[in-house]
Amino acid sequence: MNIHEYQAKGILKSFGVGIQEGIVAKTPEEAVEAAKQLTEQTGTEWYVVKAQIHAGGRGKGTIKETGAHGVVLAKGIDKVADIVKSIVGGVLVTKQTGEDGKKVNQILVAQDVYYPGEVETEEFYMSVLLNRQTGRNIIMYSTEGGMDIETVAEKTPELIYKEEVDPKVGLQGFQARKIAFNLGLSGNAFKEMTKFVTSLYNAYVGIDASMFEINPVLKTSDNKIIAVDAKVNLDDNALFRHKDYAAMLDESEEDAAELEAAKHDLSFVKLDGNVGCMVNGAGLAMATMDIIKLSGGDPANFLDVGGAANAVTVEAGFRIILKDPNVKAILLNIFGGIVRCDRVAAGVVEAVKSIGDINIPVIVRLQGTNAEEGKKIIDDSGLKVNSAITLQDAANLVKELV
Amino acid sequence: MSILVNKDSRVVVQGFTGGEGTFHATQMIEYGTNVVGGVTPGKGGQEHLGKPVFNTVADAVAKAQANTSIIFVPPPFAADAIMEAADAGIKVIVAITEGIPTADMVKVKEYLSDKDCRMIGPNCPGIITPGEAKIGIMPAFIFKEGRIGVISKSGTLTYEAVDQLTKAGLGQSTAIGIGGDPIIGTSTKDAVQLFMEDPDTDGIVMIGEIGGSMEAEAAEWIKENGTKPVVGFIAGQTAPKGKRMGHAGAIIGGANDTAAAKMKIMRECGIHVVESPAEIGAKMKEVLG
């Protein structure tokens, strides 16, 4: 699960991680109020207005309606309202959002942390994630902060460091010190960084995160270490023990069809193609998408109906797929194991009747337990549904119909 | 012959008396699997499906000589159940449970690292040696005794491949579903190696999917050590970047996670890669001649 920057920073702060302070707001008035409060709290007189959407590249991205960037510096409280007006309610298009962009419903008014002082500011990169090869968490960090880490990995891979954590003992002091040394720090900034790394890792473990990306981590001109941005992903499988974080889900950031599917316990991912599909099992669902492509179509979605492919789930699946105007055909692919194909077939017939006029071709491929009986039910139903038993037959039907 | 499980496997079912455990244990017993009992804490001493219920896995090992376990325990308690099995001396632990938090599995992997046992899964359909033992949730009737080893990350896609093999006249020595989570006990390479060393396996079907590097590692190993033909397929050739495709581990992060990248390296390592999942059975038949 993804959360917003302001939520992520709130969590990090609760674990003692230094952050760029800020207050979330929805209107220009709220934003000015937030700025005043921030001045009292931190003394800052400049503010950074940051669009809160679940996508990176906000600083370089632009608001469709106004041309404003998604992250803007306000050099004085009198500038805040106008900047917020140019961002809130607009659609922000960044490298990561695609052309459609994302609507900005709220902004974060943050303190300016690049103030001049005794030393030069420095930006670093830091992330925490699972190393799937070893089954252990790693802290990945670089002196090259504030830029796209994939670019750094391509051009200067030697500037990316990794520190793996032994799950038996957790992150050790020597590891935090190594990180601070590798980042070239000394004195107070060094101490601050070891504290930053340690509390960051505690937060990662404490909230069952699946990914942290802090870019940039900033050494301020008075040698403090803080997170200026924060991307936090939570492990969906662990949300049962973090109800308070689960409540942070912002439904407006999620695809409507994916949310609808989740309500029916269906696993759905929207794609751009013209052939919808509904399958039992994630692996077979991906394989079905592949077969659609090989047959000359393009998959419109990934949809795993799971173990219970019955009239209710199949109808819900059909309705979600049919909302997409690009869909020109639907392929239902069920391998009956525990779930019997004749039952699935009866469910399909019921669902198709209940929906009424599906005016695009539907292909139903049933294989496994009672496959022949299932095919007969489909064929005898009088519905305009094409049936198949082997995967190759289904593929040929897709080719014919698309 | 076979790998990991056979008619001598003495199976204890963890989460025995729950809905899932009851349903699948019944099917396993019907198949002829030697289920020696089950574990449900607090219900020790009772009988279920005609088999004894134990309070702990240690009891099942001591009193019923269990050496293999299958786990149907819900996600919040599944990691604990796996570690209990390992501590009790179980040699093969099959974890069916889907949805175990990754942090729990980090601990489990560490805990198992110095134990003499092998974990299969979690989030997997289990393992079957046709005609001998079914320790999983797969539909038994599609399998046939034979000499092809099958390795796959997912359930129904495994069944699809097995069904094609069986219909092509190719039975299976053992079919193993290794699971679709980011952290699993038996990797693709581990399973490939076991099949290469099994005298009664003639060919291997290796089915992977997007995410992680296990297929590439297995392919590299096969290039160096392979002695039997391997047919491969990678699901998710059309999957977009950054989106989780059902399985917790099926997500494209970097360039090496894609189906195209995996298929390329598999081909370079001498694996017979099919682009269509409909061609798995036919390809194996062709390769074996």
In the annotation, is A125 catalytic? yes
What is this model's ipTM?
A: 0.92
Residues constituting chain B:
289
What is the residue-level pLDDT of chain B in tens, covering all 289 positions? 699 999 999 999 999 999 999 999 999 999 999 999 999 999 999 999 999 999 999 999 999 999 999 999 999 999 999 999 999 999 999 999 999 999 999 999 999 999 999 999 999 999 999 999 999 999 999 999 999 999 999 889 999 999 999 999 999 999 999 999 999 999 999 999 999 999 999 999 999 999 999 999 999 999 999 999 999 999 999 999 888 898 888 888 888 899 999 999 999 999 999 999 999 999 999 999 8
> Please, what is the Cα angle at B230 between B224 and B232, to 5 degrees?
110
Give me the percent of chain B exceeding a pLDDT of 90. 93
Q: Residue A274: its chain B contacts at CB < 8 A?
A: none
Indicate which of A160, A208, A284 best probes the interface with B, i.e. most B CBs within 10 Å of its own CB.
A284
The single residue listed with the structure tokens 């390795």 is B151
Question: Shortest CA distance to A359 belongs to which of A388, A325, A400, A312?
Answer: A325
Q: Give the contacts of A305 (CB within 8 A, at least 6 positions apart).
A: A266, A278, A279, A280, A313, A314, A317
Q: Which residues contact A186 (CB under 8 A, 6 or more apart)?
A: none
- Written as six digits, the tokens of B211 are 């995410």
**Count of Cβ atoms closer than 10 Å to residue A192 Cβ:** 19
Cα B64 versus chain centre, distance? 24
Of residues A168, A282, A369, nearest to B245 (C-beta)? A282
Q: Give exposure, A34-68, as e/b (b: 16+ Cβ within 10 Å).
A: bbeebeeeeebebbbbbbbbbbbebeebbbeeeeb
Tokens, residue A190: 């060094």
Tens of pLDDT, residue by residue over B127-154, are 999 999 999 999 999 999 999 999 999 8
b/e burial code for range B252-272 (CB count within 10 A of at least 16 → b) = beeeebbbebbbebbeebebb
Q: Model-level pTM?
A: 0.93
Nearest residue of chain B to residue A210 (CA atoms): B102
Residues 162-221 of B with CB under 8 A from A: 163-164, 180, 182-183, 207, 209-210, 212-213, 217
Nearest to A20 by CA among A273, A227, A225: A227
Each residue's pLDDT expressed in tens, for chain A with a length of 402 residues: 999 999 999 999 999 999 999 999 999 999 999 999 999 999 999 999 999 999 999 999 999 999 999 999 999 999 999 999 999 999 999 998 888 899 999 999 999 999 999 999 999 999 999 999 999 999 999 999 998 888 898 899 999 999 999 999 999 999 999 999 999 999 999 999 999 999 999 999 999 999 999 999 999 999 999 999 999 999 999 999 999 999 999 998 888 888 999 888 899 999 999 999 999 999 999 999 999 999 999 999 999 998 777 888 889 999 999 999 999 999 999 998 778 888 889 988 998 888 887 889 999 999 988 889 999 999 998 888 888 888 888 988 988 888
- Which chain A residues are within 8 Å of B102, Cβ to Cβ? 130, 208, 210, 235, 237-238
Strands A362-368 and A385-388: parallel
DSSP conformation class of B73: -
| pLDDT tens readout for residues B72-130 | 999 999 999 999 999 999 999 999 999 999 999 999 999 999 999 999 999 999 999 99
Query: Mutate which of B156, B159, B274 to disrupt the A interface (most A C-beta within 10 Å)?
Result: B156
List, as ranges, residues 101-140 from A with C-beta within 8 Å of B. Answer: 130, 132-133, 135-137
